[in-house]
Amino acid sequence: MNALGYAAAAWVFLVALYGLVTSRDLVRVVLCLSVAQSSTYILLATIGFRAHATAPIFDSQASTSARTVDPVVQALMLTDVVVGATVTALLLAFVVQIHKHVPSDDPHDLRELRG
Amino acid sequence: MEGLAFVVPLAGAAVLLAIGWAVPRWVNDSIALATGIATAALCADLLHRTGDNTVVTWFGGWRPTHGPPIGVDFAVDRFGAGLATLVAVLACASLVFVWRYFATIHALFHALFLVFVAGMVGFCLSGDLFNLFVFFELMGVAAFALTAYEVEEEGPLQGALNFAVTNSVGAIAILFGTGMLYGRTGALNLAQIGASLAVDRHGTDGLVVVALVLVIGGYLVKAAAVPFHFWLPDAHAVAPSPVCALFSGAMVSMGVYAVARVFWTVFAPVLTRSGSLAGVRPVLVAFGVAGVVVGAAMCTVQRHLKRLLAFSTVSHVGIVLVGVGVLNAHGLAGAAVYLVGHGLVKASLFLCAGVLLHRLGTVWEPELHGRGRSLPVLGVVMAVGALVLAGLPPAGTFTGRALLDEAVAGAGYRWLPPLFAVASAVTAGALLRVVARTFLGVGPRPAADEFDLPTDDEDNEGETQGARDRVPATMLAPPIALLGLSFAVGAAPSWVAGAGRAAARFVDIQAYRAAVLHAAGDTVRVPVPHLRVAAAALVPATLTVLGAILVGALPLSQDRLPNRLKVVGRNVAHRALRPLRLLHSGSVLDDVTWLLVGLAAFGVAGAVLWR
């Protein structure tokens, strides 16, 4: 399971970056970045995974010795999701604004800052 | 208590968001400035209290009692606290500058600015790898939004897009590497990861190499090492000038600081054990040297003053990165002094560019010609600032470079000090050229296409409009004060000695580990380098300053040069640099492609050199 998880994370990361640099559309750039970000969720979930374990929720009744997956990586993932959502929202706002100036959505047409 | 320096600017931002829309502008300005001053005071106090020690705070009292730490800590030493103080001081200068700068301004700007400051301060103080990522993103998101503050203009939007996408890719790489390290060690605390890796039976295996490349590579994006730097001139050219002051003066330094901090705490112990520590040195030095060369070359052919300053930052941060890359306390001390000296003067110069925008409505060299005659004070500040970039004694850049020269020569790179001198002379000379044309009207009015490859006229005209008949004191005082400070940090011998002790402490991982994991205030064990600047350093410094004046004068005296020389000069500017200029295509896809090429090269070098 673990090897598969790591391989999937690496694959999604690389595919997303390939998709990013070959984009012909700004929205796709943002989405590819989002996909690249989600590769880290797969990685973190894989790291915290334990076979036959439950969610790390402890209440006063449950025994703290129950076998659970690693709660730390889940906290990291939650933080990561928040960060990813913020960045995606901000980037999409930029794209909308850029679209007002440049009729094309092709990133290669944005040459305002060359040289 | 240590957390306050981070909490105060965030609280200030929250207050501004809550009441900013309802109160007049001067109230917002006052709240923001008061918050900035309070942050600076807290950081300075922290710097004073840390002294030569590492002060550790565990949030919520989650200190490690038995076993590895679960809590999150701030581990503050002199470099961290010093950098946080630099951030806060630059923020105060910018907030004073902002007072009269913007035509219209909303509380949102102040709030974003303070969040940006909070992110950087937290970043300097954090002792936790994941929290470094969080602060990296916090300062990043605020910085992206600040870059595109003029949201109706095309240039700022494109600059912000390039900045945001490349830095986000860097952040994802950092998180990926952080996850891998957590998977191996079960720790996120810098000291604990380093300790676990050092005793791990795998040693420096593929996982460690890939994690190092991803984490350090990600921070190199922020540090704008070549070829990760493409976002920097785009963002710096278009962001509002007071924001640029913080970008160039402090944010780029965060990347170099993180490279040093993470390398020494996390990776140095395991690399030392496997005997491959020395293999990292040429790689980091190569990234630094690439920055020094490319930044200086691109700097000479810029017409847009802020873009010119941005490329000079790429060059100067390259010098700092080389100082970190030689991997010893001596180089680190020089890098720290240089970083502070450069940060202060670069922030001052960006604020000066802001004054030009405010007063003349442009920072485009052909349009500035001769129009600065009515601003003599500004001209003097910018000219002195340019000379400080070249390392005018006794400024911080002079002291820092003198230490760096010794350190890199001592590490076997005898060819580097002359390269530093040439690069500094070239970047300072390019700036002197613009200063002489603007304030003295020297030479003929340059054609817009003097350097070929015409760039569109980018002058953030929208960002500032005000009393154009005179420069308000609140806009002139901050750059002058920062310039004065850049001399002060270089002239005080206690700074050099303090940087030497701090650097020795920084690389002493046993002491750091004892302070963080065992709450043991320890004494410095590695030999403290006895640093002082030799009088002999005045010779290369003088030559650099003279070289800068020469480089600046050459394009201005074209008419008096023999024809042959003129043709050669033009060919260099047009032809030799044209491929390099075309690489800076302004397309975000090219930026990311280069980033990936850089990461791949880093990985290949690592696989070859560190196993």
DSSP string, B25-91: HHHHHHHHHHHHHHHHHHHHHHHHHHTTS-EEEEGGG---SSSS--S-EEEE-HHHHHHHHHHHHHH
Nearest to A115 among B140, B165, B453 (CB): B453
Average pLDDT for residues B521-545, to the nearest whole number?
Answer: 79
- Chain B residues with CB under 8 Å of A73 CB are 179, 182
Identify all chain B residues contacting A115, using CB atoms and an 8 Å cutoff. Answer: 301-302, 453, 455, 581-582, 584, 586
Chain B residues lying within 8 Å of A83, measured CB to CB:
134, 137, 141, 171
pLDDT band of B429, cuts 50, 70, 90 = very high
Q: What is the mean pLDDT of residues B588-600?
A: 94
B73 pLDDT higher than 90: yes
Mutation target to probe the A interface, by most A beta carbons within 10 A, among B298, B456, B588 is B588
Any A CB within 8 A of B168 CB: yes
- B392 DSSP 8-state letter: -
Report how far residue B186's alpha carbon sits from residue B221's, in angstroms, rounded to the nearest whole number: 26
| Closest to B495 (Cα-Cα) out of B402, B582, B420, B426 | B402
Q: How far is A61 from chain B (nearest CA, A)?
A: 24
**Which residues are B76's β-sheet partners?**
B55
Please check whether residue A77 touches B, CB under 8 A.
no
Please compute the mean of the pLDDT values over residues B183-201 and round it to a whole number. 94
Residue A66 has pLDDT above 60, yes or no: yes
ipTM: 0.94
Shortest CA gap B403–chain A (Å): 34
Say if B164 is an interface residue toward chain A (CB within 8 Å).
Answer: yes
Which of the residue ranges A102-106, B255-259, B494-498, B563-567 has the most confident prediction, judged by mean pLDDT?
B255-259
Q: Which residue has the higher pLDDT, B520 or A29?
A: A29
Contacting residues of B for A28, CB less than 8 Å apart:
none
A32 touches chain B (CB under 8 A): no
B585 with A21: Cβ contact below 8 A: no
Distance from the Cα of B131 to chain A's closest Cα (Å) equals 10
Facing residue for B593 by CB, picked from A21, A26, A33: A21
**Position B174: which residue type?**
I
Contacts of B177 (CB under 8 A, 6+ apart): B210, B211, B212, B213, B214, B215, B218
Q: Is B306 on the interface with A (CB under 8 A)?
A: no
Q: Is the pLDDT of residue B524 over 70?
A: no
All residues at 6 or more sequence positions from A84 whose CB lies less than 8 Å from its CB, including other chains: A34, A37, A38
Contact A83 B160 (CB under 8 A): no
| Ramachandran assignment for B447, one of left (phi > 0), alpha (psi -120 to 50 degrees), beta (any other) | beta
Q: Do B179 and A101 touch (CB under 8 A)?
A: no
Return the residue matching tokens 């980091």. Answer: B284
What residue spans of B471-528 are helical by DSSP H? 473-491, 493-507, 509-517
pLDDT at B591 over 50: yes
Check the CA dihedral B263-B264-B265-B267 and report its sign.
positive
Q: Do B233 and A113 touch (CB under 8 A)?
A: yes
Q: Is the pLDDT of residue B520 over 90?
A: no
> Which residue of chain B is at minimal alpha-carbon distance from A10?
B176
Which of B141, B169, B584 shows the shortest C-beta gap to A86?
Answer: B141
What pLDDT is attached to residue B182?
95
Q: Which two tokens stand for residue B66?
A: 């038995």
- Local structure of A101: helix, strand or coil: helix
Residue B156 contacts A where some CB pair is shorter than 8 Å? no
List CB contacts of B354: < 8 A, sequence separation 6 or more. Answer: B97, B101, B240, B241, B242, B244, B245, B464, B475
Residue B523, pLDDT > 80, answer no
Between chains, do B176 and A43 touch, taking CB under 8 Å as contact?
yes
B577 Cβ under 8 Å from any chain A Cβ: no
Interface test with A, best of B126, B135, B137, B157 (most A CBs within 10 A): B157
Chain A positions in Cβ-Cβ contact with residue B182 (cut-off 8 Å): 47, 72-73, 76
> Is any Cβ of chain B less than 8 angstroms from the Cβ of A42?
no
Interface of B with A in 225-244 (CB under 8 A): 233-234, 237-238
- pLDDT per residue over B232-252, tens digit each? 999 999 999 999 999 999 999
With a CB cutoff of 8 Å and minimum separation 6, the contacts of B257 are: B79, B80, B83, B123, B124, B339
Task: Give the rounded percent of residues in chain B with a pLDDT score beyond 90.
Answer: 72
CB B153 within 8 A of CB A16: no
Core vs surface per residue A20-38: b (16+ CB within 10 A) or e? bbebeebeebbbbbbebbb
The B residues from 454 to 483 touching A (CB cutoff 8 Å) are 455-456, 458
| Chain B contact for A41 (CB, 8 A cutoff) | no
Asked if A87 lies within 8 A of B141 by C-beta distance, the reply is yes
Backbone angles phi, psi at B237, to 5 degrees: -70, -25
The fraction of chain B above a pLDDT of 70, given in percent, is 95
A with B: how many residue pairs have Cβ under 8 Å apart? 137
Token representation of residue A87: 């960045």
Name the residue facing A111 among B171, B233, B585 (closest C-beta).
B585
**Record: contact A112-B154, CB cut-off 8 A:** yes
Q: Which residue of A has its CA nearest to B451?
A: A115
d(CA B419, CA B292): 8
> Residues B73, B265: contact at Cβ < 8 Å?
no
- Whether A13 and A44 have beta carbons less than 8 Å apart is answered as no
Q: How far apart are CA B580 and CA B566, in angstroms?
A: 21
Spell out the residues 6+ positions from residue B341 whose beta carbon is closer than 8 angstroms to its own.
B388, B395, B396, B397, B398, B399, B400, B486, B489, B490
Inspect the interface and report whether the beta carbons of A29 and B165 lie closer than 8 Å: yes
**What tokens appear for B253 in the block?**
């330094």
Q: Give Cα separations from A61 to A55, A72, B28, B140 (angstroms).
A: 15, 22, 51, 43
Q: How many CB atoms lie within 10 A of CB B608?
A: 10
Q: A108: pLDDT confidence band, cut at 50, 70 and 90?
A: confident
Lowest mean pLDDT among B174-183, B468-477, B523-532, B578-587: B523-532
Give A68's strand partners. A54
Query: Which residues have CB under 8 Å from B501's CB, separation 6+?
Result: B52, B78, B524, B528
Report the residue of chain B nearest A85, measured CA to CA: B141
What spatial distance separates the first Cα and last Cα of chain B, rounded to whole Å? 43
pLDDT digits (tens, 9 = 90+) for A12-49: 999 999 999 999 999 999 999 999 999 999 999 999 98
Residue A1: per-residue pLDDT: 56
Beta bridge partners of B55: B76
Predicted structure pTM score: 0.94
Residues within 8 A of B (CB atoms), A 50-69 only: none
Cβ B163 vs Cβ B235: under 8 Å: yes
CB B525 within 8 A of CB B536: no
pLDDT the model gives residue B16: 96
